[in-house]
Structure 1
């Protein structure tokens, strides 16, 4: 059976994704970033066309439930710009939601994730193609344990990949201990985001040895190690044999983020100079195709 990626226009063969921004946001709304919402479909279309102008073919939006992901316009954006778009279900950290909302949905998270993966998001027929959850700073707190447990159940029922926001790049091993150790999710079905925000080579290698995909996603909003150490971090991981587990993304979270076009126009040539064009192409194309493909879940016993 051909591996498939679930886009907002339906399932496609994974090898049709092409050059992929493995972690970004077309739309995002949160009380944590007041006044900095991404909510304009016209602007989103402009960003997708700019990304396409540099050879971009696919974008994976990690915006989960309750954060303004705009499932109502994603399909038309995909059609009008000729870009494959993958949407997310899942739940971010508790700080992004009103407590009353979390109280209302907490007991039905797994079923909600499954419904959004298999039926549609809200009243739309747009199905999610991944499950987004989040750790806490250097730990897996009670909220993260709740959401990751639901994500694991949804994965086992659907075969969907799980993408994890690591807070400032920390707690990767704690996340893997829970998802892969306790909850039985295969490591290659987990995508760890933001590892570059904590430029700890030992922690990065440990996560890679576990078998997870590692997403290096988004330029920093300050001038620190996230940016200037990225080429050497990727070179070290590729040199250690983990090149097939590396992903690249723009992670546009506020309007001034350079995001998608920056990923290909500025970052790609810089990485190619250090790693070689073939290695960077593997990260943008082949690795993304494997990371975001659905796998047939095991039959129930």
Structure 2
């Protein structure tokens, strides 16, 4: 059930504050327009904004028709985020859109976020990242060289799968400080060790229930028992590659088993589901899944496995509402 704080709390959407209880079913980790930095300037990549808008609008309307209410664009800064377009998409589709601030992993940052005055260059200190992200929440998200728009509703960052670098530690600490100071939740895409990466954020005095650790349907995380341990520490766990089975991620059948085991262990209130679908990708392959894939394909599997409907609704609706409610 939604707690009393969430019942009165609001969430930052691109069209302004929305009561958390009015979000409906939430897709918590998706990408609307995902652009490899620099691809928008490449001579061989078509960037027809009208075509991009039409494609995204069709996908959002399909999501709404499937029962979806809110989509979180978890791409962060400088990876295609287009807040004015998202505002228009939200108006036209009726879907609430939560945009995010944040950066990472290091290999997608560019040299600007290193300190070139040192030899070798050193990463930005955590306080600089914290200020950058916090201002996008308090002052509005930057439209490059133009203006600021509405506030970000999530702070997101990621580490390298080979292990967190010094720059990524600064990113994680900066994201945690910004979340702590603004009341907006923080999404961490772990690198090699989800528990150690969570500890970096917890070390900044960010409450565990303001954190979601993503990518926990990776085979390494599942084999190590990380999803249950993340929940035991009080953070949210995201199984956010629903619809994907490959050498890195478990199958949907294994996800169903994992969800039922977590619920049986008392962690149903900490589970989040998403597909990491990409609406439009430029400069890299898209994860071409419907935004409503969790609703139309995965939720029925959970029910068929014996999960009660109110538990499924808690996972799809109440849990993300609780996470996204600014506090």
TM-score norm. by structure 1 comes to: 0.89
User: Of residues 4, 28, 35 in structure 1, which corresponds to 2:34?
Assistant: 28
CA contact (8 A) 2:99 2:153 kept: yes
Choose 252-261 or 204-213, whichever is displaced more: 252-261
CA contact (8 A) 1:220 1:226 kept: yes
Once the two structures are superposed, what CA deviation does each residue of 1:73-94 show, in whole Å capped at 9, x if it has no partner? 1111111110111010011101
Task: Please name the residue that 2:120 is paired with.
Answer: none
Matched, 1:237 2:255: no
CA contact (8 A) 1:27 1:38 kept: no
Once the two structures are superposed, what CA deviation does each residue of 1:137-178 show, in whole Å capped at 9, x if it has no partner? 2633212211111112211221110001124xx421111211
Counterparts of 2:46 and 2:161, CA distance in 1: 23
Q: CA deviation at 1:256?
A: 4.7
Task: Please name the residue that 2:132 is paired with.
Answer: 112
Structure (1 or 2) with the larger CA radius of gyration: 2
- From the two aligned structures, give the one with the greater helix fraction: 1
Once the two structures are superposed, what CA deviation does each residue of 1:159-203 show, in whole Å capped at 9, x if it has no partner? 110001124xx42111121111x2111100001111011222622
Task: Please name the residue that 1:15 is paired with.
Answer: 21
User: Of residues 188, 198, 211 in structure 2, which corresponds to 1:164?
Assistant: 188
Matched, 1:148 2:169: no
Choose 80-89 or 94-103, whichever is displaced more: 94-103
Counterparts of 1:18 and 1:38, CA distance in 2: 32
Specify every segment of 5 or more residues in structure 1 that has no aligned partner in the other structure, as ranges: 296-301
Matches within 5 A, 1:30-179: 30=36, 40-100=52-112, 102-103=114-115, 106=124, 108-122=128-142, 123-137=147-161, 139-167=163-191, 170-179=192-201
Choose 64-73 or 92-101, whichever is displaced more: 92-101
CA RMSD of aligned residues (A): 2.5
Q: 1:83 to 1:229 in 2, by over 3 A?
A: same
Specify every segment of 5 or more residues in structure 2 that has no aligned partner in the other structure, as ranges: 117-122, 279-284
- From the two aligned structures, give the one with the greater strand fraction: 2
Matched, 1:270 2:294: no
Counterparts of 2:299 and 2:48, CA distance in 1: 25
Q: CA deviation at 1:118?
A: 1.4
Task: Please name the residue that 1:298 is paired with.
Answer: none
Q: CA deviation at 1:124?
A: 3.6
Choose 245-254 or 58-67, whichever is displaced more: 245-254
CA contact (8 A) 2:124 2:167 kept: no
Q: How many residues align?
A: 292
Counterparts of 2:169 and 2:207, CA distance in 1: 17
User: Which of structure 1's runs of 4+ aligned residues deviate more than 3 A?
Assistant: 31-39, 100-107, 221-224, 253-256
Once the two structures are superposed, what CA deviation does each residue of 1:70-125 show, in whole Å capped at 9, x if it has no partner? 11211111111101110100111011132235558935322211111112111142
CA contact (8 A) 1:251 1:259 kept: no
Q: 1:95 to 1:226 in 2, by over 3 A?
A: farther
Task: Please name the residue that 1:299 is paired with.
Answer: none
TM-score norm. by structure 2 comes to: 0.82
